[in-house]
Amino acid sequence: MILFYFPDSVDVINPSYCFSEEEHELGRRRMISEAYPHEVYEHPPYDGMLVSKAIVDTRYTMAQRQRVMRQGIRRFLRLDSEKHKNLKIIGDCGAFSYRNDPEPPYSVTEVIDFYDGLGFDYGISLDHVILGYEDEDDAEYLIFPDGDKQAREAGYALRQSTTLRLANEFLHECKRRSVSFYPMGVAQGWSPKSYANAVEQLQNMGYDYIALGGMVPLKANEIEACLRRIQKVRKENTRFHLLGISKIDDISTFSQYGVVSADSTAPLLQAFKSDCNNYQLGYHNYIALRVQQTGENHKLKKMVLSGIVPQDVARRMELECMRLLRDYGDYKAEAIEVLEALCQYEALLTQKKKIKNRAQYLLTLSERPWEKCECPICKELGIQVIIFRGAERNRRRGFHNLYNYYGILKDKRTLNSHHDS
């Protein structure tokens, strides 16, 4: 069984947001009136959260940083109730954020102070990510000239040895200070063999819960190749965590190799970062219906200023799209007239005649997937959840995706446990 951790990146919603007025309730206080997914859903759509030092240092406001220091991480995330006490919190450094630096910007002591001071359940050792993958590490190397490969691998090896040195220091320091969190090692590699090498060394230091880092860009078969190679050195009680991996189809395969947990923001981010897979229902993907806010689009502001697009025309079309979508949600408009309005508005904004997402828009409209979801967000918002517009709608759609993702994961677990017994 693989536990799913949701990485915090301050993705919260304001429950009192008014969609018809499109503004926040007056006098709201940041974070107090804002809700995490585990506060929106009766059952949290994850088994725990992961918080990185880099996020706290850069994305939290000064007031939030002071509050988390005072309250500790559990209370700050409002996971301190009886209902949420089983959700574990993992701390990590956020190595991706300093991937271009020659060395990690933190000291081992700073990181331990962060984990221990804030009361994390698990703490991942300080690491330096390797962004590169070479498949055929056991074969003769034919594709790249030798010089390139050697130089590249020297760079990778340096980052791996930094990561291992820090892991060793980290574990010694954790033992010396008898910290209250459970230390996790982290393996960085660039090939199945190098990952196995890192795991072997971490086990020798004394780690039995090891995070595998730098695998985000890897395909599922490449991750499996690494896990298979790691299997050769894995001690019986060693467990793994996959950093940044959500590949749901392969979760049961990964669990055969000792993977017990993973984390990923992908289900949430897809809601507003993906070109066309913005709303998931089961395994189906739908595009969200884009209606840009005339007041908040920089490109549009420029076009208005330079006289290419008349402001009032754009605004009128925008409002007409919103009205038609609301009506369509209430069965008072036809799909085709909504589609035409959306495409005409988009054509005005992009100054292109052809709307490349036209067919996908029509599919979203005609299948009405938001009506098929039982989650409180879709029940309450209706068609609004699938409109690509502003952080409040987009994040709610992200929460829905998280709920959908976790639902599939839970089904797979049940299936596996029946299979196992």
Q: Which residues are catalytic?
A: 92, 263
Per rule CB under 5 A, is residue 50 in the interface with Zn ion? Answer: no
- In the complex, minimum distance from the CB of residue 154 to Zn ion, in angstroms, rounded to a whole number: 49
Q: Cα separation of 324 and 327, whole Å?
A: 5
Size of the site for Zn ion (CB under 5 A): 4
Between 214 and 369, whose beta carbon lies closer to Zn ion? 369
Partners of residue 262 on adjacent β-strands: 4, 242
CB distance 370 to 385 below 8 Å = yes
Task: Pick the closest to residue 174 from 186, 184, 183 (CA basis).
Answer: 183
Residue type, 374: E
Between 68 and 378, whose beta carbon lies closer to Zn ion? 378
Per rule CB under 5 A, is residue 373 in the interface with Zn ion? Answer: yes
Per rule CB under 5 A, is residue 108 in the interface with Zn ion? Answer: no
Contact region for Zn ion (CB under 5 A) — 12-20, 288-296, 367-375, 408-416? 367-375
Contact partners, residue 135, CB within 8 Å, separation at least 6: 191, 222, 225
Between 117 and 382, whose beta carbon lies closer to Zn ion? 382
Per rule CB under 5 A, is residue 375 in the interface with Zn ion? Answer: yes
- In the complex, minimum distance from the CB of residue 409 to Zn ion, in angstroms, rounded to a whole number: 16
Between 123 and 398, whose beta carbon lies closer to Zn ion? 398
- In the complex, minimum distance from the CB of residue 373 to Zn ion, in angstroms, rounded to a whole number: 3
Sign of CA dihedral 366, 388, 41, 329: negative
In this structure, what are the phi and psi dihedrals at residue 271, rounded to the nearest 5 degrees?
-55, -30
Contact partners, residue 104, CB within 8 Å, separation at least 6: 93, 95, 98, 126, 127, 128, 162, 166
Per rule CB under 5 A, is residue 247 in the interface with Zn ion? Answer: no
Between 187 and 385, whose beta carbon lies closer to Zn ion? 385
Task: Pick the closest to residue 266 from 80, 31, 5, 72 (CA basis).
Answer: 5
Contact region for Zn ion (CB under 5 A) — 7-15, 97-105, 360-368, 370-378? 370-378
Per rule CB under 5 A, is residue 400 in the interface with Zn ion? Answer: yes
- In the complex, minimum distance from the CB of residue 44 to Zn ion, in angstroms, rounded to a whole number: 15
Contact region for Zn ion (CB under 5 A) — 43-51, 248-256, 305-313, 369-377? 369-377
Task: Spell out the SS3 assignment of 135-151.
Answer: CCCCCCCCCCCHHHHHH
Task: Pick the closest to residue 383 from 395, 393, 391 (CA basis).
Answer: 393
Contact region for Zn ion (CB under 5 A) — 172-180, 325-333, 357-365, 368-376? 368-376
Between 17 and 170, whose beta carbon lies closer to Zn ion? 17
Contact region for Zn ion (CB under 5 A) — 77-85, 123-131, 243-251, 399-407? 399-407
- In the complex, minimum distance from the CB of residue 379 to Zn ion, in angstroms, rounded to a whole number: 8
Interaction pattern, residues 378-397, with Zn ion; x per rule: CB under 5 A:
x-------------------
Task: Pick the closest to residue 217 from 130, 302, 148 (CA basis).
Answer: 130
Interaction pattern, residues 327-366, with Zn ion; x per rule: CB under 5 A:
----------------------------------------
Contact partners, residue 342, CB within 8 Å, separation at least 6: 289, 290, 291, 321, 361
Alpha-carbon distances of 376 from 40, 402, 403, rounded to whole Å:
8, 13, 10
Footprint of Zn ion (CB under 5 A): 373, 375, 378, 400
